[in-house]
Amino acid sequence: MDTEEFSKLIARYNNNTASAEERMQVERWYEQLEGKAILSEDAELKGQIYGAVRKHIEEPAPVLHKKERKIYTWIAWAAVWCVLFNIGLLYFQAKRFQVSSDTFSVQKKGITPGTDKAILTLANGTKINLSDVGAGQLAEQAGVTVSKTKNGELIYKVIGDNQATTKYNTISTPRGGQYQLLLADGTRIWLNANSSLTFPTSFPADKRKVKFKGEAYFEVAKDKSRRFIVESNETEVQVLGTHFNIMAYDDEAAQITTLLEGSIELRKGNEKSLLKPGQQARTMGATNQINVKDIENPEQVIAWKNGYLQFEKSDLQSLMRQVSRWYDADVVYQGKIPKKEYSGKIPRSVGVKTLIEMLSYSGIHCQVKDNKIIINL
């Protein structure tokens, strides 16, 4: 496959116009390369993988005039970038793209990827920093124990019948934090960065209700006698047992609810909609309107839960809000923000230096200063 054909294939993949066979071809090729990269940290193997990318886009070029040569080189490296940023092969270090040391002049202060960390606030107001405590029982409230596992999961377990008074707890993750918990009814929840969930230590007999903001993935335990209700931004999601993701950050224009399994009923004001697997609902501001659409790959929505920052036709500010939350860094824009869409997949484990290098391949030129990521436009 020559450079032009390869570039067109990647472009079709990124703008969702590729055929099923073409998408399979790209994804199968990426999976093969990614598998090799994940299995080894060996520098030589990384070089081989990088070489494999170049092999796909570099063919013997005809003699070109200076201007034509520049255009050809730009196309070739644009194709490399499409593969690396838009498909997600982000495990190599290419000397060709060195970033100056000035870019990381304050790296000692530390902009780092997020980790498992959260604050648990008990019913009596006691705050527990979950990063500072070891595994074991943390508290007992109204016949319910609260424990932390060796893997860092928070677990609520009913041990008695003393549930006359409902006790509420709140778990909050900061920017640069995430956490996982198991509620007393068996519902499992993953909290993304800068999120909070308020919930009863054990649910009453008639319903299960929690209040939430930020982003979370819910795997709700089935219970036909009690609906599970998530309240956020004047919107309610009601289910009996299902898997779904809610993104409801205050700095986002809309709340987005994505259903992966089962069914949910979304309510806002007098409006309501039923969602099927693979559908996504958007609610905005003070209006009660609920916009529902089918999405091709709902798994992309929970990439954050699986260890990735993933962007799908995102504008620059939306992309960088994800980065800001996970790396706990403010973002400053210097210049006019372009009207451009970005698609890509970056492991959330990469350090800020690698992150900045990856962004630079797409033309997003950044520098780190005073624990801020500055975008030079």
Distance, CA of 287 to CA of 304 (rounded, Å): 28
The answer, yes or no, to whether residue 62 has pLDDT greater than 60, is no
pLDDT of residue 370: 86
How confident is the model over 185-206, as a mean pLDDT? 96
> What's phi and psi for 191, nearest 5 deg?
-100, 130
**What is the reported pLDDT for 260?**
96
Strand partners, 365: 376
Q: What does the DSSP assignment read for 273-318?
A: EEE-TTEEEEEETT---EEEEE-S-GGGGGTTTTTEEEEEEE-HHH
* pLDDT at residue 163, rounded to an integer: 56
Q: For the whole model, what pTM was predicted? A: 0.74
Using one digit for the tens of pLDDT, what is the confidence trace for 258-299?
A: 999 999 999 999 999 999 999 999 998 778 999 999 998 899
Give 3-state DSSP helix, strand, coil % of the chain, rounded to 5: 30, 35, 35
- Percent of the chain past pLDDT 70, that is, above it, reads 72
Distance (Å, whole) CA 247 – CA 257: 6
CB atoms within 10 A of CB 124: 8
311/358 Cα distance (integer angstroms): 13
Band (39; pLDDT cuts 50, 70, 90) = very low
> What pLDDT does residue 95 have?
34
Q: What is the pLDDT of residues 89-113, one digit of tens each?
A: 333 333 333 333 344 343 445 899 9
284: closest CA among 335, 248, 338?
A: 248
Q: Which amino acid is at 187?
A: T
Of 195, 102, 180, the C-alpha closest to 148 is: 180
Measure the CA–CA gap between 136 and 186, rounded to whole angstroms: 19
H/E run at residue 363: none
Domains and CATH numbers, the chain: 3-96 (no CATH), 99-110+310-376 (3.55.50.30), 115-301 (2.60.120.1440)
State the pLDDT at residue 44: 45
What's phi and psi for 343, nearest 5 deg?
A: -130, 135
Q: What single letter denotes the amino acid at residue 145?
A: T
Confidence of residue 194 (pLDDT cuts 50, 70, 90): very high
Indicate the range of 7-11, 131-135, 182-186, 339-343 predicted with least confidence.
7-11
**Residue 362, pLDDT score:** 78
